[in-house]
Every structure is written in C-alpha cells, then in structure tokens.
Amino acid sequence: MILVTLGTQDKSFKRLLEAVEKQIDNGNIKDKVVVQAGLTKYESDKMEIFDFIPVSKFDDLIKSCDILITHAGVGSIITGLKNHKKVIAAARLKKYHEHTNDHQLQIVDNFAKSGYIIPLDNFDELDKALNKAKKFKPKEYQSNTKNFVKLIKDYIDNN
C-alpha cells in the first residue's frame, strides 16, 4: 500500500495527487493508494481519499504502508522515518500557490542529502522515484533534539 499525505496546510496540493494518479493510469502504481488530503479537494476512483484521518488510523496506515509519498513537512517526513518507511517527499511551491514560500525545497534537499528520503523534484518523474524506492535503504533516523536543547540552554546560560 502507498500512503500519500498532504498535511493540514490550508492551500491545495493537487499537483502531487495528479502526479500519483498519472502513475496509476500508466500502470506504474499497482498498489492500493490511500490519501490524507487535508484541505486539498480532489476526486478519484483510483485512490481512497480522506480529508483528515484520526490519529489511530493514521498510525495504522503509516505502519502498514510500503511507501510514503508526502509533502515536505518535517513532521510527515520524520513520522515516516521513525516508522522505517521509504519516503518520497515533494515540496509545496509558492509559484503554484501551494505555500507562502519555498522553504520546503530546503527541507527536501537536507533530508535527501543526508540519505533519509527520495526527493521528488520533477513530478513528471514520479515513476523514477518509485523505481528508486524499490532498492532504496533509508538512513536510520536519529533525532537531533538533544543537540538543539543543549544549544538553546547554552545560549540562555551565556546571555
């Protein structure tokens, strides 16, 4: 099963769902596709689409999916990584009115360069990302929270 998550952003991300549906139509996705669409309105008879999913069901879907295709929200990516999933992440872009700025490009770039995820920069090449996912071994996720807390504590203590 492939889980597609668009987060809770108040802007549409139809572009990603169109890319997924195109790969279903082309026969490159044969798995069941479940979508957490948030506020993105999209209709398809090829995907099971929910606006929002209760946390317990979302957790079950994350655990049972083979691939997580997600917007480049840090929380969504880390949830996939903590559950040892292959994550394909796509940035919401300002020019398509999917976000207020392009900060998700940096998120995708940083996670990809670190070996955690497969970036989806060109939506017409989702098939290539899916093929890469077959052999992709994501780097084991390690939280950096302790380091951030120490940096903040040191800063407070020294100022």
Task: Report the pLDDT averaged over residues 57-84.
Answer: 96
pTM of the model: 0.89
Per-residue pLDDT tens digits for 14-62? 999 999 999 999 999 999 999 999 999 999 999 999 999 999 999 999 9
Q: Minimal CA–CA distance to 90: which of 140, 41, 129, 39? A: 129
How high is the pLDDT of residue 13?
A: 97
Residue 149, CA distances (Å) to 143, 153, 156 in order: 12, 6, 11
How high is the pLDDT of residue 151?
A: 76
CATH number of the domain encompassing residue 92: 3.40.50.2000
Block residue for tokens 């998550």: 5
The total number of structural domains that make up the chain: 1
How far is Cα 80 from Cα 65, in angstroms, rounded to an integer? Answer: 10
- Higher-confidence position of 8 and 32: 32
How high is the pLDDT of residue 61?
A: 97
How high is the pLDDT of residue 59?
A: 95
Task: Report the pLDDT averaged over residues 66-89.
Answer: 96
Backbone angles phi, psi at 70, to 5 degrees: -145, 155
Per-residue pLDDT tens digits for 120-156? 999 999 999 999 999 999 998 877 777 768 778 888 9
How far is Cα 30 from Cα 14, in angstroms, rounded to an integer? Answer: 20
> In this structure, what token pair is assigned to residue 26?
């082309």
How high is the pLDDT of residue 148?
A: 66
Domain limits for position 58: 2-158
How high is the pLDDT of residue 88?
A: 98
How high is the pLDDT of residue 25?
A: 98
Local structure of residue 7 (DSSP, 8 states): T
